[in-house]
Structure 1
């Protein structure tokens, strides 16, 4: 999704935003509309680019960080809010679980993902209907399957955060279709899984001009995750869904763990061998492109010139230290130092590990852990007003730990331990885990996922899958949660606009 993918998206978006109202307007013969745009392969690729452009809503400099992370991460026990957050009541509501259905942040999250679904449906419907003399059938099939991957991805983001969602399975051209009821959860899962299954026919990889586009490995990874999640939601069919998850994940091939863990998150190692699906960024503003943000300011603490919006919790720091200084480096798990800046000998050894300085030079004796993950790797990047740090959305370590979880639940505990130890060794410089029982491995998987994925926002879904949300939040000293807050309420703006949904 480099320039070749990103720039055409901007050309289509103006037509796409108004496409739902085509039935109200007359078509001008000299202007592109949703009915006249889809002419050939070039149009098909531009339409696909528009569908990709909605990923995590990165095209919006502000909403990318100010919607995604408050909505997804503020609920988690591994983070706490920074000093600036009380200035934003709608963020505080998310952190304190006091939100109503009028909260603007998850309303934007809802709308942004449905916009992505609309763009994806246009690709599926319009490109799928192109004749052979306008587009190569092989390319047509690939583009349609990429559209299905994206449609599944956007629906997946919604079903993970709402108990019931509206399944949008076609591009809306009739006003009567705008209002639609919420689907049963099983129906939504069936739809997502079917789209991901179709997407498994995608290529294994893409050339350098098309990095970031969905692949076979990405489709199988998310298919495995969907089936794993469903296994816990439907206990009567747990074994069936675990098997489907295992089968899908066994087809994720050609990836390796990246030894230099921190480089996957500081902009220096984009699309590395561990990355399966990654949000593409660029500092280029050519032709009006906008794929850079101030994300590093949002993640950064005030001492590192950030806005102090999100910090690691004490619970997270303690989790990294739980096994003691048993790493082969003689320190704690290496993922601690790759993920968090903190007051310790490692960052105060006089070697300038923090942008040429020690921790105490920046924090002046304060004891304030701060996230290192997703900050630029050098001083020039930290000083810059904008950044273009890719965001790994699915990594191979996630696949390995999901496989370990499935194997353990199926009773194949020794095989699960082998996969856990692989991640521990490469990313944490840690010795093999202790313990060999199924319960011990469950606990180890929770530990590994907790310290492997901070700020990648898998923790909430993990806790809910395991039935541990309430106990984890209570252990972290977080108040206000009960199980009615496991999912967000349908946004008020959707209820007001949709006569098939009521309070």
Structure 2
């Protein structure tokens, strides 16, 4: 990749910034005759489960797998020039992929690796409690809840991208167990929701700073609510029931607040803040020999910043950021525009707001673009200029809970209950006045706008569009002529899985 030295992908056995012991634990040997003796073994096993989160197995894979699979299929971005050098990435963008696509295969394998590790840990907890140094009831509950959540999370990631998946819920002792049929979508959702609900009942409400990044009740109930919200659209005969269950789950997400400095959640200056419910952890520190960094800053940066020009802001996304005009505090556009992208605006003309530089230092008449994303760039040029950066990536924020809860209320026919939640996000993050309109249609449109500007590059856009039944409409408007909802709403089962699993004949 350009002049940056490539470092081979490696298994990140642990990734929790702020918890050094957890970070530096080596990938354990799960051999049952040597392992699962005590709580320390369970903690080490869990570190390996966390290490698979969102393709965080190597410095490049979070971009080359997670973002290629999740972001390239959305209309919030345009592929940059360098993508043309990587045909399999371009295939995701152009919807010309097949079941041999390497990014799709790695995404599938990574999530099932995480599931397998979680199953090992659940087996190990039972072994410790029956034949090892028995843990306290609280420790057993918390660690079991953690493993259950992570197993459910990896299944959740899979069911969001594949129409059918394999439920892997047992410790593997022989090759025959690897041959397992695809479950129905309903069966998969039932399994995920049951796991998340159980995890939520076992996990702690919060954690000390030394355990920053490890999951809590809030994470379990946030994803449970998201799961039920998605099911409410997919299983229309049970819509009212699932909306009620989603509302109940979101009501259990407590103890969080919106962060007033929106951009700080993505530039490394405000990791694991009061809004963060689940966050993919990275760190600039390599003092202990570990390496937990990524290269996404170069993916979003233009060539004039020595960036790799992989992900550009789409015209639709740019226009959506600015569509309400200069109605924010200080005669500015929506504050989330400034926290998400660099663009031609007086704010960037002076003051060094682009990592110490001004707009004209970065862009001129020969620039390939006039605006670019800035999410996941560090806050200073000296940090940006490094080959790898340690900015965290929020996976679940309280703003998401508020806007999903608003969607639930609106779908239940109560726009008046949704509006205050929307306005809270607009005020704190956008520095904007209250929304206009009060009927169900107006609130639905506002939710769609808010989710787009709030979560750009946080990889929910494709799934939002599918939930709303708007994929065909959005892709057509974006000029993505290769897209068909009947073919591309879900990814194909990787050929590797079909060839090695005797129970799949797709």
Q: Same fold (TM over 0.5)?
A: yes
**Gap regions ≥5 residues in structure 1:** 17-32
- Would the aligned equivalents of 2:152 and 2:195 in 1 still touch at CA under 8 Å? yes
Give the 3-state SS of the residue equivalent to 1:297 in structure 2: helix
Quick one: distance in 1 between partners of 2:458 and 2:27?
31
**Gap regions ≥5 residues in structure 2:** 1-15
Do residues 170 (structure 1) and 170 (structure 2) align?
A: yes
Q: CA deviation at 1:287?
A: 5.0
Give the 3-state SS of the residue equivalent to 1:163 in structure 2: coil
Quick one: distance in 2 between partners of 1:321 and 1:61?
33
Quick one: distance in 1 between partners of 2:450 and 2:32?
47
- Would the aligned equivalents of 1:53 and 1:59 in 2 still touch at CA under 8 Å? yes
Question: Match for residue 100 of structure 2?
Answer: 102
Question: Match for residue 242 of structure 2?
Answer: 241
Aligned residue runs from structure 1 range 240-259, under 5 A: 240-259=241-260
Q: CA deviation at 1:405?
A: 0.4
Question: Match for residue 501 of structure 1?
Answer: 504
Question: Match for residue 467 of structure 1?
Answer: 469
Aligned residue runs from structure 1 range 176-195, under 5 A: 176-195=176-195
Q: Which moved more, 1:316-325 or 1:292-301?
A: 292-301
Q: CA deviation at 1:140?
A: 1.6
Q: Which moved more, 1:461-470 or 1:337-346?
A: 337-346
Question: Match for residue 6 of structure 1?
Answer: 23
Partner deviation per Cα, 1:173-218 (whole Å, 9 max, x = no partner): 1111011100000000011111101111210111122111110111
Question: Match for residue 445 of structure 1?
Answer: 447
Quick one: distance in 1 between partners of 2:286 and 2:237?
52
* Aligned mate of 2:428, from 426, 431, 447: 426
Quick one: distance in 2 between partners of 1:146 and 1:219?
9
- Would the aligned equivalents of 1:38 and 1:127 in 2 still touch at CA under 8 Å? yes
Question: Match for residue 354 of structure 2?
Answer: 354
Quick one: distance in 1 between partners of 2:33 and 2:59?
31
Q: Which moved more, 1:183-192 or 1:49-58?
A: 49-58
Do residues 89 (structure 1) and 87 (structure 2) align?
A: yes
Question: Match for residue 152 of structure 1?
Answer: 152
Quick one: distance in 2 between partners of 1:298 and 1:37?
40
- Would the aligned equivalents of 1:4 and 1:209 in 2 still touch at CA under 8 Å? no
Question: Match for residue 72 of structure 2?
Answer: 74
Do residues 129 (structure 1) and 127 (structure 2) align?
A: yes
Quick one: distance in 2 between partners of 1:412 and 1:343?
39
Q: CA deviation at 1:134?
A: 2.9
Aligned residue runs from structure 1 range 298-447, under 5 A: 298-348=299-349, 350-365=350-365, 366=367, 367-447=369-449
User: How many residues in Structure 1 have an aligned counterpart in Structure 2?
Assistant: 483
Question: Match for residue 485 of structure 1?
Answer: 488
Q: CA deviation at 1:118?
A: 0.3
- Would the aligned equivalents of 2:27 and 2:45 in 1 still touch at CA under 8 Å? no
Q: CA deviation at 1:288?
A: 4.2
Do residues 212 (structure 1) and 228 (structure 2) align?
A: no
Q: CA deviation at 1:398?
A: 0.3
Quick one: distance in 2 between partners of 1:141 and 1:396?
25
Quick one: distance in 2 between partners of 1:382 and 1:96?
30
> Structure 2 vs 1, CA of residues 126 and 153 (structure 1 numbering), >3 Å: closer, same or farther?
same
- Would the aligned equivalents of 1:59 and 1:290 in 2 still touch at CA under 8 Å? no
Q: CA deviation at 1:379?
A: 1.3
- Would the aligned equivalents of 1:6 and 1:53 in 2 still touch at CA under 8 Å? no
Quick one: distance in 1 between partners of 2:95 and 2:171?
35
Question: Match for residue 7 of structure 2?
Answer: none
Q: CA deviation at 1:386?
A: 1.5
Give the 3-state SS of the residue equivalent to 1:200 in structure 2: helix
Aligned residue runs from structure 1 range 20-31, under 5 A: none
Q: Which moved more, 1:252-261 or 1:336-345?
A: 336-345
Do residues 140 (structure 1) and 157 (structure 2) align?
A: no
Q: CA deviation at 1:231?
A: 0.6
- Would the aligned equivalents of 2:69 and 2:104 in 1 still touch at CA under 8 Å? yes
Q: CA deviation at 1:286?
A: 4.8
Structure 1 residue ranges, 4+ long, deviating more than 4 angstroms after superposition: none
Give the TM-score, by structure 2 length: 0.93
